[in-house]
Chains A and B, each alone.
Chain A
Amino acid sequence: MPQTILLAIEWLSVLLILAGALLSVLSAFGLIRLPDVYLRSHAATKSSTLAVMCVLSGVFLYFASAMQTVSINILLGIVFFFITAPVAGHLNGRAAHRSGVPLWNRSIRDELAEAGRSDKAPDANTGQPADDAETDADTGKSDAKDS
């Protein structure tokens, strides 16, 4: 009886690995076909994170069932990719917006540029003048007012 359960878990883990590989292909397809940096970042970050978490969970279950070894490295890798892949996508998108990469010509609105423009003079081109010093001063003022 435990042999059949182990075999079922092993097949489940292999199917999880296959699902992760298919999600990764889907992520690459979105990265090729989408028209914009920001839309491509949407494809490259989210589905790629889900794909690598599926694959690593499948490998963890495979080794736990087929070879009776529980690997802490794979668990640590799952947590690490879950934390760092969205952070990297966010940093990349912010850097692209600040360095003036244009949006798709059918994008409706640009909320980050609007937020930057409301802080400073209205003739700012890409939300560039919302620099760090001014936001630091604003947050410091609000903190002082709250306390």
Chain B
Amino acid sequence: MQTVLLISMMLLALAITGCLFRVLKGPSIADRIAALDTIGVNVAAEVAVAGAYMRSTAYFELVLLIGILAFIGTVALARYMERGRVLNAPDDSAGD
């Protein structure tokens, strides 16, 4: 059973490596953002499987934290690519 968990961790690491290839190669910024979002999701899954492998419940807050940080990072990068800035400037905050 531990062996199956170890194989799952290796497969997730392989998936993260594939996404890293797309981050390095991707022709546009949107490719890199999509690949980085997938890397964040896969890292959260990897941490959960690592917690199951070590039989420790100490890693479960980390799953939620990595998920929230990956989502906020994806939203910020997509807004930056769309509008050229992440947050609204105080002058034109009434426009949006």
Query: Measuring CB to CB, which residues of chain A are less than 8 angstroms from any residue of chain B?
Result: 10-11, 14-15, 17-18, 20-22, 24-25, 27-29, 31-32, 37, 40-41, 44-45, 48-49, 51-52, 55-56, 58-59, 62-63, 66-67, 69, 71, 73-74, 76-77, 80-81, 84-85, 87-89, 91-96, 98-99, 101, 132-133
Q: Are A17 and B4 in contact (CB under 8 A)?
A: yes
Interface contact A92-B11, CB-CB below 8 Å: no
Query: Of the candidates B1, B18, B82, which one forms a contact with A28 in the assembled complex, judged by CB atoms under 8 Å apart?
Result: B18
A74 — which chain B residues lie within 8 A by C-beta?
48, 60, 63
List the A side residues contacting B17 at CB < 8 Å.
28
Q: Are A31 and B61 in contact (CB under 8 A)?
A: no
Q: A28-B15, A41-B34 are in contact. Are A92 and B78 (CB under 8 A)?
A: yes
Q: Is the CB of B15 within 8 A of A24?
A: yes
Q: Is the CB of A81 within 8 A of B8?
A: no
The interface residues of chain A, by DSSP majority, are classed as helix
Q: In the bound complex, do residue A88 and residue B71 qualify as a contact, i.e. CB atoms below 8 Å apart? A: yes
Task: List, in ascending order, chain A residues with CB within 8 A of B7's CB.
Answer: 18, 21
Tier of interface size on chain B = 35 or more
Instruction: Check A80–B82 contact: CB distance below 8 A.
Output: no
Among the listed B31, B38, B45, B63, which residue makes an inter-chain contact with A20, where contact means beta carbons less than 8 Å apart?
Answer: B45
The listed residue (B12, B21, B38, B96) touching A21 by CB distance below 8 A is B12
Docked Cα-Cα span, A73 to B48, in Å, equals: 11
Taking CB atoms, residues of chain A closer than 8 Å to B81 are: 95-96, 99
The reply to whether B61 and A94 contact each other, CB–CB distance below 8 Å, is no
Residues 52-93 of chain B, each 1 if its beta carbon lies under 8 Å from chain A, else 0: 100101001101100110110011001101100000000000
In the docked arrangement, what's the CA distance between A55 and B9, Å? 11
Q: Determine which residue in A49, A59, A71 has the highest number of CB atoms from chain B within 10 A of its CB, and name it.
A: A59
Which residues from A are CB-within-8-Å of B70? 88
Q: Is the CB of B18 within 8 A of A20?
A: no
In the complex, the answer to whether B75 meets A91 with C-beta atoms within 8 Å is yes
- Whether B45 lies near A52 (C-beta < 8 A) is yes
Query: With A66-B55, A71-B57 in contact, is A18–B4 under 8 Å at CB?
Result: yes
Residues of A within 8 A of B63 (CB): 56, 73-74, 77
